[in-house]
Amino acid sequence: MTPTVTPALMLGLACILFLMAIILGVMLAFARFGKDVNPPPVLVWWHGSFALVGFGILLYGSLFVGYPMLANIGVVLLTLAALFGLWMYFNFHRKEILIPPAIVWGHGLVAVIGFLLILAGMLRLQDTHIETQDQPARAAVEHVEPAESSFTAHQIT
């Protein structure tokens, strides 16, 4: 039996990887705001690596597996967050220029909203999957023909 790639599976894998990227992103923000220096490169690379792999899975699933609209909006927002993150890295971090707080907050806010949308899309798919598994049982119950009675209306009166 070959495993089936489902939208919920793809979104779930992407959510796990993005959750790791978010945890590292919070660490990066604390490092940036705590000491008034840019965060250490090793954290930046780990953050970007988790986000990049999660984004690759997310993009593949969006193009070839199919997601609900909510998750696709999340993909667009995460694309913007990724481009924003790359711009932040190449224009500030790599040149050893202190990253402005508004840019850090903007990147984080767009990424978290995108993450919440793909998470909501995944949870909505899970609810739909559970409902569709129940439907055959419900259909069997709903389509039960009423039992024929041996009494007629004339016999009762």
Helix residue ranges, H only, 36-148: 41-60, 69-88, 101-142
Cα–Cα distance for residue pair 70/113, rounded to 1 Å: 11
Q: What is the pLDDT along the chain (157 residues), one digit of tens a residue?
A: 666 888 888 999 999 999 999 999 999 999 998 888 899 999 999 999 999 999 999 999 999 988 889 999 999 999 999 999 999 999 999 999 999 999 999 999 999 999 999 999 999 887 665 555 555 544 444 554 555 555 455 555 5
What is the residue extent of each domain of the chain? 7-133
pLDDT score of 141: 46
Tell me how far apart the alpha carbons of residues 157 and 153 are, in angstroms, rounded to a whole number: 7
Structural element, H or E, at residue 9: helix 7-35
pLDDT for position 157: 52
Q: Is 120 exposed, middle or buried (0-12, 13-18, 19+ CB in 10 A)?
A: middle
